[in-house]
Amino acid sequence: MRSLSTKLVLAFALTSLAGIALVALFLRESVVSEFDAYVLQQRRTEFVVQLSAYYAQQHTWRGVDELMRKPRPAQSDGDTGPRIDFILADTDGTILVSPNPLWRGRAAPAEAFALGTPVTVAGETVGMVLTIAPPTRRDSAELLYLARTDHALAAAGLGAVAVALVLGLLLARVITRPVRDLTAAARAIANGDLRQHVPVRSRDEIGELAVQFNHMSADLDRATELRRRMTADIAHDLRTPLTVLAGYLEAIRDETLRPTPARLTAMYDETQVLLHLVEDLHTLSLADAGELPLKRQPVELQPLLERVAYLYQHAATQAAVTLSVQVPPDLPTVNGDVEQLARVLGNLVSNALRHTPATGAVTLVAYQTSAALVIEVTDTGCGIPAEHLPNVFERFYRADEARHQTTGGSGLGLAIVRSIIEAHGGQIRVTSSVGAGCTFTISLPLATVTRRDSVPTLHAVQV
């Protein structure tokens, strides 16, 4: 019994069978009870009519007991014995007729007498009929009626079980269909086909599972595509400087070229490109393993931002771009690695200067929110198209595919930035509009609140 559909069908069938059995049992008990009450009422009415006729004819109750005990005409079941299901008492409460001959002449119980059915003749009450218990015997017609009722209940129960099985089969197929879809998609992913999408057929837990599965499949496909692109980009970024180095070395070995200082400098520059790429990859591998070394200490943001601005003042002057720092006074510190944070800000400022035209501006701003310190690096450059924003922090991702390492960097800078910020327990995001520039926003958790002794005024460095 390995099929989920089979298990569900059997579960539906067993549950339905148990429910139908309980309903049938309660229904039969109710039918028997109501039927006995109806028969009792009919017999009581018949008994009262018979007694009224007897008293109207005899004008006395003398001899009524012998009359009630005369054998009845034979019934279809052969029962000819006397059948007395009630007590007859006179107006004084003395029992005249009863199923038990020993009760004759005794006083009837007061509660039963008060609830009895009066026997009237010419508008006068001449006796009281008391009900002692439901009938204990049934004639053949009554037994036949109850037997037919049992057969009807059994047939209805079997029909309900059949309907429950059919509905259970249909429901099991409906319920397990998304599971079968997920199983087929998971099998395809296991075989290497990552582009799987299962239909979301409901809004329940299984529907939510299908939604999350689609997200997972899309993420796996995207991650695989990024890995392939990263491998191709690494190969390309390594091939270019290695080709240059190999060409120079081969020419020098064959004495086609002389090892002049200019040629050695070109070779050295290519080795620096390789070293920079390897160092970036090493940093990312440490971040992925959660082993990025951080020398944490309380860091004041104003000196940090001013330091980064000072380092890029000359580049900003060369590009005719205004570089400024805006930090409010008495800002709390963050607990972080000052060199790694400087590396992050340097990368962002360098990118901003590269993409900001002359007469533009790059601004470093810091401020405090209720739970974090925020650093914003804003430029008035060309901006990033909206379709590229979700991928700017991916490795080797370049919005302009035509850019390469000599013009656009290795494509690892923003990935390293995100890794360093996340290692500090912070977050980074980017907002941009084409033609209006970009804003990179860094949120860092507050350190133990420490204030500087002096309260500096808002400081700006302009170039």
Task: Establish if 412 belongs to a structural domain.
Answer: yes
Among candidate residues 270, 288, 306, the one where a domain is terminated: 288
Largest CA distance in the chain: 156
Instruction: Please tell me whether residues 301 and 431 are part of one structural domain.
Output: yes
From the list 17, 8, 6, the residue with the least C-alpha distance to 161 is 17
Q: Phi and psi at residue 438, in whole multiples of 5°?
A: -130, 155
Among candidate residues 94, 125, 141, the one where a domain is terminated: 141
CATH code of the domain covering residue 134: 3.30.450
What's the mean pLDDT in 62-68?
78
Instruction: Please tell me whether residues 110 and 212 are part of one structural domain.
Output: no
List the single range of 68-72, 264-268, 373-377 with lowest mean pLDDT: 68-72
Instruction: Please tell me whether residues 273 and 307 are part of one structural domain.
Output: no
Among candidate residues 141, 163, 195, the one where a domain is terminated: 141
Task: Establish if 428 belongs to a structural domain.
Answer: yes
What's the mean pLDDT in 49-78?
74
Alpha carbon 62 to its chain centroid, in Å, reads: 84
Q: Is the pLDDT of residue 147 over 60?
A: yes
Highest averaged pLDDT of the listed ranges 15-24, 230-239, 254-263: 254-263
CATH code of the domain covering residue 412: 3.30.565.10
243/260 Cα distance (integer angstroms) = 19
**Tens of pLDDT along 124-144?**
999 999 886 655 566 787 788
What's the mean pLDDT in 149-167?
82
Q: Is the pLDDT of residue 451 over 70?
A: no
What's the mean pLDDT in 28-49?
84
Give me the half-sphere count of Cα atoms (radius 13 Å) on the Cβ side of residue 114: 3
Instruction: Please tell me whether residues 340 and 382 are part of one structural domain.
Output: yes
**Domain total for the chain?**
3
How high does pLDDT run on average in the chain?
Answer: 81
Task: Establish if 64 belongs to a structural domain.
Answer: yes
List the single range of 5-9, 153-157, 162-166, 421-425 with lowest mean pLDDT: 5-9
* Pair 79, 136: CB distance under 8 Å: no
Task: Establish if 148 belongs to a structural domain.
Answer: no
Task: Establish if 186 belongs to a structural domain.
Answer: no
Instruction: Please tell me whether residues 438 and 390 are part of one structural domain.
Output: yes
328 or 276, greater pLDDT:
328
Instruction: Please tell me whether residues 219 and 246 are part of one structural domain.
Output: yes
296 or 71, greater pLDDT:
296
Alpha carbon 76 to its chain centroid, in Å, reads: 68
Instruction: Please tell me whether residues 354 and 226 are part of one structural domain.
Output: no
Instruction: Please tell me whether residues 249 and 380 are part of one structural domain.
Output: no
Instruction: Please tell me whether residues 29 and 122 are part of one structural domain.
Output: yes
* Pair 388, 398: CB distance under 8 Å: no
What's the mean pLDDT in 283-293?
77
Task: Establish if 160 belongs to a structural domain.
Answer: no
- Confidence band of 408 (pLDDT split at 50, 70, 90): very low
- Confidence band of 457 (pLDDT split at 50, 70, 90): very low
Domain encompassing residue 102: 4-141
- Confidence band of 458 (pLDDT split at 50, 70, 90): very low
pLDDT at site 181: 84
339 or 180, greater pLDDT:
339
Instruction: Please tell me whether residues 277 and 342 are part of one structural domain.
Output: no
pLDDT at site 449: 46
Instruction: Please tell me whether residues 284 and 301 are part of one structural domain.
Output: no
Instruction: Please tell me whether residues 428 and 306 are part of one structural domain.
Output: yes
**Tens of pLDDT along 313-355?**
999 999 999 999 999 988 898 999 999 999 999 999 998 998 8
Task: Establish if 277 belongs to a structural domain.
Answer: yes
CATH code of the domain covering residue 229: 1.10.287.130
List the single range of 158-172, 237-251, 289-303 with lowest mean pLDDT: 158-172
Q: Is the pLDDT of residue 406 over 80?
A: no
Q: Phi and psi at residue 165, in whole multiples of 5°?
A: -65, -45
Q: Is the pLDDT of residue 363 over 80?
A: yes
**Tens of pLDDT along 385-397?**
888 888 788 777 6
Pairing type for strands 322-326 and 361-368 reads parallel
∠ CA 115-119-124, nearest 5°, is: 110
12 or 410, greater pLDDT:
12
What's the mean pLDDT in 177-189?
83
List the single range of 69-83, 211-225, 382-396 with lowest mean pLDDT: 69-83
pLDDT at site 73: 53
Task: Establish if 416 belongs to a structural domain.
Answer: yes
